[in-house]
């Protein structure tokens, strides 16, 4: 597979313009004086050029959106490059199947998913931290060839506070204009929790309301088949992730038609994950020792296992001390089982047994089966 180039947002003011872009706040608004920067620098790369053209066309189509909010979305929220594919994610077969059915197939074959097969407008991924929820969301975007908008709900209510409502409006407008789109909201609980209803945080409550309104608009537009050029509400999905699903209020919870539990990895998944991590590392672990590691990492999340492997890989270097600076690479000893044993003493699973039970209870009560 060829990976797309990683394109980081351009620092302001350094872009070369590929064309004038206008966002009209009303249909009759005049062009803004400074043209918006395009997503990518002026480049002969046809893929980038095509993207620039799409962005320009999208921006011309949307109305009622704050210009700087749209710019912020384009520069900070849309993820380009550094793609994740299904194969990069160990295990989670059930979640992958469910995501294919809910998102990937409908996005790639919209003609088949109509009427009773109407695709869901919202899907929730819940489970302990570090189990691959973000990776799954990114894989869905790659595999469904969608524009991927990634935003953390806590940054909406902190970093962007004051701008958040405008940002939410721009987010949904751009997602519709650049469809198929995945709006991935990490830590969705901080946006849709019951505590936002108390009136204590007026601003947070307003953002929550704006988000729910725009999300409903999406469903209405899709149901009404308001399909005009440059606005495809049918193929926009809100995919959200949370480590504390019980904090989401009931009304918001019901909007996630599918609620997919992302559990701690099973032994087979841990085996695959460990094998992948060791693939490019010089090591001398036997099959039996790898099996032993699988048993020792019971209760560990994917990111816990990654942390253990990274720490263990440092073992051979730690053993050298300052001699590390003068030792040729081929004389550095392989990573051994004892390195893993040492790391496992320091790195403990991040989820407790009681913590896990809370997820399982919630999954039984509110999770989607299958």
Which residues would be at the binding site for ligand ADP (CB under 6 A)?
89-92, 129-135, 241, 273, 302-303, 306
CB of 92 to ligand ADP, least distance (A): 5
CB of 133 to ligand ADP, least distance (A): 3
Pair of tokens at residue 142: 């790659």
List all residues 6 or more positions away from 325 whose beta carbon is below 8 Å from its beta carbon: none
In the complex with ligand ADP, which residue's Cβ is closer, 91 or 349? 91
In the complex with ligand ADP, which residue's Cβ is closer, 208 or 273? 273
CB of 48 to ligand ADP, least distance (A): 26
CB of 280 to ligand ADP, least distance (A): 14
CB of 317 to ligand ADP, least distance (A): 21
Name which of 248, 302, 289, 257 is nearest 128 in CA terms.
302
In the complex with ligand ADP, which residue's Cβ is closer, 51 or 261? 261
| Cα pseudo-dihedral 33, 34, 39, 41, rounded to 10 | 130
Whether omega before 268 lies within 30 degrees of 0, making that bond cis, reads no
**What phi, psi does 186 have (nearest 5°)?**
-80, 155
DSSP 73-106: IIIIIEE-SS---GGGS-S-HHHHHHHIIIIIHH
In the complex with ligand ADP, which residue's Cβ is closer, 90 or 171? 90
Pairing label, strands 122-126, 78-79: unpaired
CB of 131 to ligand ADP, least distance (A): 4
In the complex with ligand ADP, which residue's Cβ is closer, 139 or 179? 139
Pair of tokens at residue 364: 């039984």
In the complex with ligand ADP, which residue's Cβ is closer, 49 or 86? 86
Pairing label, strands 236-242, 78-79: unpaired
Residue nearest to ligand ADP (CB): 302
CB of 190 to ligand ADP, least distance (A): 14
CB of 262 to ligand ADP, least distance (A): 6
C-alpha–C-alpha distance, residues 275 and 287, integer Å: 10
In the complex with ligand ADP, which residue's Cβ is closer, 153 or 241? 241
In the complex with ligand ADP, which residue's Cβ is closer, 150 or 218? 150
Judged on CB neighbours under 10 Å (0-12, 13-18, 19+), 103 is buried
List the Cα angle 3/11/167 in 5-degree steps: 85
Stated as kind and residue range, the H or E segment containing 276 is: helix 267-278
In the complex with ligand ADP, which residue's Cβ is closer, 106 or 130? 130
CA distances to 133, 153, 167, 168, 248 from 187, rounded to whole Å, are 11, 6, 17, 16, 10
Q: What is the DSSP letter of 243?
A: S
CB of 272 to ligand ADP, least distance (A): 8
List all residues 6 or more positions away from 93 whose beta carbon is below 8 Å from its beta carbon: none
């Amino acid at each position: 597979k060829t990976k797309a180039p990683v394109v980081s947002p351009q620092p302001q003011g350094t872009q070369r313009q590929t064309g004038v872009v206008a966002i009209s706040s009303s249909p009759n608004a005049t062009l803004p004086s400074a043209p918006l920067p395009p997503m990518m620098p002026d480049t002969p790369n046809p893929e980038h050029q095509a993207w620039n053209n799409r962005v320009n066309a999208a921006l011309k189509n949307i109305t009622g959106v704050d210009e700087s909010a749209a710019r912020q979305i384009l520069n900070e929220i849309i993820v380009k490059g550094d793609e994740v594919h299904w194969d990069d994610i160990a295990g989670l077969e059930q979640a992958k199947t469910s995501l294919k059915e809910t998102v990937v197939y409908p996005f790639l074959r919209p003609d088949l998913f109509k009427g009773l097969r109407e695709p869901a407008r919202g899907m929730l991924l819940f489970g302990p931290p570090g189990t691959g929820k973000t990776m799954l969301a990114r894989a869905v975007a790659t595999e469904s060839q969608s524009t991927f908008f990634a935003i953390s709900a806590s940054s909406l209510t902190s970093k962007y506070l004051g701008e958040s409502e405008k940002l939410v409006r721009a987010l949904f407008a751009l997602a519709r204009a650049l469809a198929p789109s995945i709006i991935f909201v990490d830590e969705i609980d901080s946006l849709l929790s019951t505590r936002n209803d108390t009136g204590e945080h007026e601003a947070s409550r307003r953002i929550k309301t704006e988000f729910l309104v725009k999300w409903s608009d999406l469903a209405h537009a899709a149901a009404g088949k308001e399909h005009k050029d440059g606005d495809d509400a049918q193929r926009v999905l809100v995919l959200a992730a949370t480590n504390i699903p019980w904090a989401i209020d009931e009304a918001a919870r019901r909007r996630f038609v599918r609620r997919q539990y992302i559990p701690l990895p099973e032994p087979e998944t841990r085996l695959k994950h460990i094998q992948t991590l060791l693939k490019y590392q010089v090591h001398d672990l036997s099959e039996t020792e790898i099996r032993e590691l699988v048993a020792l990492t019971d209760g560990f999340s994917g990111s816990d296992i990654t942390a253990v492997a990274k720490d263990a890989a440092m073992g051979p270097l730690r053993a050298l001390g300052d001699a590390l600076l003068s030792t040729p690479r081929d004389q550095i000893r392989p990573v051994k089982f004892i390195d893993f044993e040492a790391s496992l003493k320091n790195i403990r699973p991040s989820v407790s047994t009681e913590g896990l039970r809370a997820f399982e209870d919630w999954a039984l009560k509110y999770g989607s089966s299958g």
